[in-house]
Amino acid sequence: MGLGREEEIEIRRAPVFRPGERVRATRHVRNDGTYPGKDIGENLVRKGDVGYVRDIGTFLQQFYIYSVEWVDRGTLVGMRARELASLDRSEILEAGSIGRDQR
């Protein structure tokens, strides 16, 4: 039985998002105490907010962390891929899934 940790090592494959890509938050993100100048528990990003990937880093040599600029909020927040959806590639992804469904 595992320890409940995610076992997939994300950095073995290419990043999902690229710098400059427009993304949408798929979850609310609150300050866990690591964001300076904001109270713990304060909302940093709301589900549906739109931002731009500015940089890509790693965490624990396992995960990609996407530095996303949320222009309307004036913040730069580190996000995981599961917390984001691309707005630049949505038409391509939707078209690909439509083709698969019709087979």
Domain limits for position 36: 21-101
Could you tell me if residue 2 is inside a domain? no
Looking up residue 86, the CATH number of its domain turns out to be 2.30.30
Would you state the structure tokens that stand for residue 16, as one six-digit string? 């999902």
* Angstrom distances, CA of residue 60 to CA of 39, 57, 84: 25, 10, 20
Count of CB atoms within 10 A of residue 47's CB? Answer: 11
Q: What is the DSSP code (8-state) at residue 4?
A: S
Q: Using pLDDT thresholds of 50, 70 and 90, give the confidence band for residue 89.
A: confident
Nearest alpha-carbon partner for 23 in 73, 89, 72: 89
Which helix or strand (DSSP H or E) is residue 91 part of? helix 90-101
What is the count of structural domains for the chain?
Answer: 1
Within-domain flag for 66: yes
pTM over 0.85: no
Question: Is position 62 within any domain?
Answer: yes
The pLDDT of 47-63, averaged and rounded, is 95
User: How confident is the model at residue 92, as a pLDDT?
Assistant: 47
